């Protein structure tokens, strides 16, 4: 009789196992999603910071676009018009220089913006027909990707969008 186990014991044991299994299941399903959300948040912050630098910073030196074609003396990129120096006002010549640098030396752009996994910038002037600049790598492999679109004015009186995409492989 002493070695026999009661139904109560089995019942309690089953409940305990169900409880632990349920808790474990919740945790293992939650953590990957949690991790992805955290990564997305970090990428959003990074995309926002890059967009801020491109939209509202003149770069260093302020006339870095004149250093073409090698841009060897450039320390930081920024598209803001260094003469008017106003927020959300982009210089056309810098957009063209940025586009040229992307096409000729994409890795240099990554280095100047201190980006590791790669990024994509699309600048669209809203007019008929739209004018489009793209700065993108030859190949993109992204597990998580996020983007932020800023509305900007150009110093020729037009306006448009600047979209920054960043990702994690």
Partner 1 sequence: MKSKAFVTILEMLTTVAVILIAFGILFPGFSYQNRWEQGFISLKGRDVVVTMDRVGNLYTNSFNETALKSFLDRTVPTNLTGLIHWSGVDGTLKPVVRVACNCTNAQKDALISWIARLRMNGRNIDFDIATSSLEPIFSASDVLLVWGDRTFTSQQKTNLENYLRSGKGIVEIMDLTGSLDDVQKSIFGLETCSGLFGGPSCGIGGGPPDISFEPTPTRVSNKSYTSYKYYHRIPMIAFAPTPAGFVNVKAGVEPCTSLDITRGTFAVREADYNFWICDEIIELSVYFDTGGNPDEADIKVLQGQTFVIDGQELFLSYIDNNVKIGVSFVPKHDSYEGYEFKNFLQGGIKLYPSNLDKSRVVLSKGNYTGTENPIPAAIVNETVARVAWVADFTENLNQVSDDHKLLLASLLLWTSEKRYISSLGDLRIGHVTSYINVVNQDMYEVYKFDLGLGFPF
| Interface positions with partner 1 (CB under 8 A) | 7-8, 11, 15, 19, 22-23, 26, 30, 33-34, 37-38, 41, 44, 48, 86-89, 126, 148, 150-153, 157-159, 161
Question: Which one-letter DSSP state was computed for residue 44?
Answer: H
- By beta-carbon proximity to partner 1, the closer residue of 45 and 96 is 45
CB-CB contact of 140 with 151 (8 Å): no
Q: In the bound complex, what is the minimum distance in angstroms from residue 132's beta carbon to partner 1?
A: 15
User: Each residue of 37-59: b (16+ CB within 10 Å) or e?
Assistant: eeeeeebeebbeebbebbbbebb
Kindly give, in sequence order, each residue whose CB lies less than 8 Å from that of residue 51, ignoring residues fewer than 6 positions away: 148, 150, 162, 164
- In degrees rounded to 5, what are phi and psi of residue 54? -70, -40
Cβ of residue 157: shortest distance to partner 1, in angstroms? 6
Q: Minimal distance in Å, beta carbon 44 to partner 1?
A: 7
Q: By C-beta, is 19 or 169 nearer to partner 1? A: 19
Kindly tell me which of 31 and 104 has the beta carbon lying closer to partner 1.
Answer: 31
Smaller CB separation from partner 1, 29 or 116: 29
Q: Considering the complex, what minimum distance in angstroms separates the CB of residue 160 from partner 1?
A: 8
> Are 69 and 41 contacting, i.e. CB atoms less than 8 angstroms apart?
no
């Amino acid at each position: 009789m002493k070695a026999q186990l009661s139904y109560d014991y089995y019942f309690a044991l089953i409940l305990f196992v169900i409880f632990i299994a349920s808790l474990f299941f919740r945790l293992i399903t939650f953590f990957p999603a949690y991790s992805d959300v955290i990564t997305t948040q970090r990428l959003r912050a990074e995309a926002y910071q890059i967009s801020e630098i491109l939209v509202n910073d003149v770069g260093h030196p302020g006339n870095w676009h004149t250093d073409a074609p090698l841009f060897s003396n450039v320390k930081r990129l920024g598209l803001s018009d260094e003469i008017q120096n106003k927020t959300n006002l982009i210089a056309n010549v810098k957009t063209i220089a940025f586009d040229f640098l992307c096409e000729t030396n994409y890795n240099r752009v990554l280095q100047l913006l201190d980006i590791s996994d790669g990024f994509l910038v699309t600048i669209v002037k809203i007019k008929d027909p739209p004018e489009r600049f793209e700065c993108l790598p030859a190949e993109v492999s992204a597990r998580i990707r996020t983007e932020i679109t800023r509305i900007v004015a150009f110093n020729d009186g037009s306006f448009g969008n600047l979209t920054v995409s960043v990702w994690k492989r």
